[in-house]
Amino acid sequence: MTSIPNPGPSGITDIFGKPVSEKAASENYLTHGKGIWSWLLTLDHKRIGIMYMIAVLAYFLVGGLFAIILRTMLLSPDLPEVSPLTEAATNNFYNQSFTLHGAVMVFLFIIPAIPAILGNFVLPLMLGAKDVAFPRLNLFSWYCYMGGSMFFLWVLGKGILNLALLNMFGIDMVPVWGHGGLDTGWTFYTPYSTGEDTGGAVVAATAGAFILGFSSILTGLNFIASIHMLRPPGMGWFKLPLLLWGLYATSIIQILATPVLAITLLLLISERLLRIGIFDPTLGGDPVLYQHFFWFYSHPAVYIMILPAFGVISEVISNHSRKHIFGYGFIACSSMAIALLGFLVWGHHMFTSGQSALLGAIFSFITMFIAVPSAIKVFNWLATMYQGSIRLSTPMIYAMGFIWLFTIGGLTGLFLASMSTDIYLHDTYFVVAHFHYVMVGSTLFAFLAGMHHWWPKMFGKNYSEVGGQTAAWLIFIGFNVTFIVQFIAGAQGMPRRYATYPEEYHIWHVLSTLGSYVLTVGLFAALGVWIHSLYRGTRAVANPWGGNSLEWHTTSPPPFENFKGEPVGTDPYDYTHWHYDEKLDGYVLVEEEDPYEAERTAPDRTPAPAQPV
C-alpha cells in the first residue's frame, strides 16, 4: 500500500486515489450539455439508460398500483362494493386491473428493467468503449419504448374514464370512442381478444406491444454488435464480465423471439380489423395456434427477464464476497444453454390446451432439463460465497435474497413441469406464486441489487446503507409473505383471476394482502433512499466496491466519453490490485501493480494507460 493521498478540494479522487480538481470533477456526462433537449436528443448511452430508468420506474409504479388494487379487492371473499359500480362493473374492473397489472409489469417493467437501464449504462463501460455500437438506434429504441407505452396509457386511461363516466353519470362513451380497459389477461388469448366486448382496446394494446417489441429487438441488436465489435484489447470472450454474457444471451432471445410476437400481434390485429380467420374459432381459425405463437415468444421472454438478472447477481456476489467468481466458464455457458433451451419449452404453458400427450411429454422433459443450467448457476454462486469475506451491503442482501427466491421459484417450477401435477395446479394461485417468485422476486431483486451496486457509479453519490438495508429487508419479508401463502392457497385449489372466492381461502388472501402492503412500503423506502441520495448523498469515489470490471476504472460519475484513456481488458474478477482506503471509504488502484503494464510495454501497441482525470 502506498501512502494514503489526501482527497482533493472536491473531496473526490481518481481511481488511483489522487485528488481531482473541482473543475475536472464537475465535468461528467450529467453536466455535459444542459436543458431538456440535451437529454431528449442525446446519443450518450448513459443518459439513455437514465431516461429508461425514469420511464421504467414510472410504469413500475403504475403496475404496482394495479397490484395493490387487486390485493385490496381480494381482502374479502365477496365482491367488494365499490360505489357506484354495479356488480358486473366491479368484476370487469377486477379483470381489467389484473390484465393491466400483468401487461404493464411484463412489457413495460420487467423486460426492459435490467437490459435497458443497467445494460445501457454499464455495457459500454464494461467494454471500455465510448458508446454502444449504434448510438442513434439506441435513442430510437427509447422512443419506441415511450411510443409503445403511450398506447398502454391510452387503453388504461380510456378504460378508467369509460367506467367512471358510465357508472357515475350514466354517460356511455363506448359508442363515441370504443371500449377501453383491456380485460383479456396480459396474454391477449384468443378468443377473448377476438370477442366483441373488448373492442378497440385489444388493437391499441397489441399495437403498443408491437412497438415495444421494436425497442426490445433494436436494443438486443445493439448489444450483440457492441459485444462482438467493441471489446477492448485483452478482452477475449472468456474475459467478459458475466453481466455481458447474460446480456448477450438475452439479446439473442430478443432478436429471435420478439419478431414472432410481432407477427402474432399483427395477425391478431388483422383478425380483429379484417376478420382473416386465423385465430378466431368462429371464423375457422385456431385459438391454440395463437397460444403456440404467443408462447414461442413469451416463454423465451421469461429468460429475457431472468438472464440479465443472472448476470447482475454474478457480478454482485463475486464483488461483495471479495472473491473471484467460481466456475466462470460454467456460468457463461449455462447462460447460453438457457437461451437456446428456452426456445424449446413453450409447450409447457399448454398442457391443458389440447396438445397431444406425446408433445406434452417432450415439452415436460425439456422443461425439466432446463433446470440443470439454472441450478449450475446457483451452485456456482454459493461456491463463490464459500469462504469469501462477505460484505453485507445492500446489493449483497438483495443478491442473497435473489438466490433464496430463485431457488423457491425454480423448485416449484418442477411441479408445474410435470404434466400430471400441472393439470391439477394449472391456473391456480400456485402458478401465480411460482411465476411471481421467478419473474418478480428474482428479476426485481436482481434489478434492485444492480441499481444499488451501480448507483454510486451512475450518479456519483453514495446512498444511505442503513436505509438501503432496511428497505431490502422490508421488500424481502413483504414479498415472501405475499406469495408463499399463495402456494398453499393454490395447492388447495384457489383458481387465479377471480374476484371472489370461498370462505376457506380467506386467511391466505388476508395474509397475502398484508404482505403486499409491506412490500409496497419497502419499495417506497428504496425509492426514498435513492431520492435522498440524489439530494443529500456524499460524493462517491471511483470504486466504492473494489470491482475490477472496467466500469470501475473511471470516475464516478463517468465523463462524457467514459474513459480518459483507452482501457484494456483484464480479469474482471481479479480484485488483488484494488486496496481499500479507509480515509476515502473506497478502493484505489495500486500503481505499482498496474494491470496495464504488460499491455503498455507490448511492442505492437503504443501505450494507453487509464489516465488520471
Partner 1 sequence: MTTASTHSAPHDGHGDDHGHGHDPNLAHHFHTMSQQVGSAKLGMWTFLATEILMFGGLFCAYAVYRAVHPEVFLFGHYFLDTNLGAINTAVLLLSSFTMAWAVRAAQLGQTTLLVTLLMLTIGGGAGFMVIKYFEYTAKFDHGLGPGSGIYITTTTTDADGNEVTKPQYLISDSAFMAAGDKPFAGEITPDDKAQLDEAIAYQEKYSLGKKHGHGEKHGDDHAKDDHGTHAHADDQADHAAAAGALATSATARALPTDYTAMALPTNGSFGLSATFQETGIAGDPTTSAEIEHGSHTPTTWYTLTERQQGLAYQFFSIYYCMTGLHGLHVVIGMGLIGWVAWRALRGDFTPEYNVPVDLVGLYWHLVDLIWIFLFPLLYLIH
Is omega for the bond preceding 259 within 30 degrees of 0, making it cis?
no
Q: How many CB atoms lie within 10 A of CB 420?
A: 10
Q: Which is nearer to partner 1, 276 or 371 (CB)?
A: 276
What is the smallest separation between the CB atom of 296 and partner 1, expressed in angstroms? 8
At residue 461, φ and ψ (nearest 5 deg) are: -130, 145
Q: What gap in Å lies between CA 416 and CA 351, rounded to an integer?
A: 10
What is the smallest separation between the CB atom of 554 and partner 1, expressed in angstroms? 13
Query: How many CA atoms are closer than 13 Å to the CA of 210, on its beta-carbon side?
Result: 14
Q: Which of 284, 219, 244, 228 has the alpha carbon at shortest distance from 122?
A: 244
What is the smallest separation between the CB atom of 444 and partner 1, expressed in angstroms? 28
Is omega for the bond preceding 124 within 30 degrees of 0, making it cis?
no
At residue 612, φ and ψ (nearest 5 deg) are: -65, 150
What is the smallest separation between the CB atom of 609 and partner 1, expressed in angstroms? 7
Q: Which is nearer to partner 1, 100 or 218 (CB)?
A: 218
Footprint of partner 1 on this chain (CB under 8 A)?
27, 129-135, 137, 191, 196, 217, 221-222, 224-226, 228-230, 255-260, 262-264, 266-267, 270, 274-278, 281-289, 293, 354, 559-561, 564-566, 605-609, 611
Q: List the beta bridge partners of residue 461.
A: 539
What is the smallest separation between the CB atom of 92 and partner 1, expressed in angstroms? 17
Q: Is 289 within 8 Å of 194 (Cβ atoms)?
A: no
DSSP secondary structure string for all residues of 533-597: HHHHPPBPPS-SS---SGGGGS-SSPPTTS-SS------TT--TTEEEETTTTEEEE-GGG-TTH
**Residue by residue, what is the 3-state secondary structure of 412-427?**
HHHHHHCHHHHHHHCC
Q: What gap in Å lies between CA 66 and CA 96, rounded to an integer?
A: 9
Q: Which is nearer to partner 1, 257 or 529 (CB)?
A: 257
Q: What gap in Å lies between CA 439 and CA 305, rounded to an integer?
A: 7
Q: Which is nearer to partner 1, 210 or 575 (CB)?
A: 210
What is the smallest separation between the CB atom of 226 and partner 1, expressed in angstroms? 8
What is the smallest separation between the CB atom of 269 and partner 1, expressed in angstroms? 11
Q: Coil, strand or helix: which one is 495?
A: strand
What is the smallest separation between the CB atom of 3 and partner 1, expressed in angstroms? 24
Task: Cell numbers for 539, please give them.
Answer: 460524493
Q: Which is nearer to partner 1, 232 or 478 (CB)?
A: 232
What is the smallest separation between the CB atom of 255 and partner 1, expressed in angstroms? 5
DSSP secondary structure string for all residues of 306-361: HHHHHHHHHHHHHHHTTSPPSSHHHHHHHHHHHHHHGGG-GGGG-TTTT--HHHHH
| CB-count burial class (<10 Å; 0-12, 13-18, 19+) for 52 | buried
Q: Which is nearer to partner 1, 216 or 374 (CB)?
A: 216
Q: Which is nearer to partner 1, 422 or 566 (CB)?
A: 566
What is the smallest separation between the CB atom of 118 and partner 1, expressed in angstroms? 20
Q: Which is nearer to partner 1, 284 or 329 (CB)?
A: 284
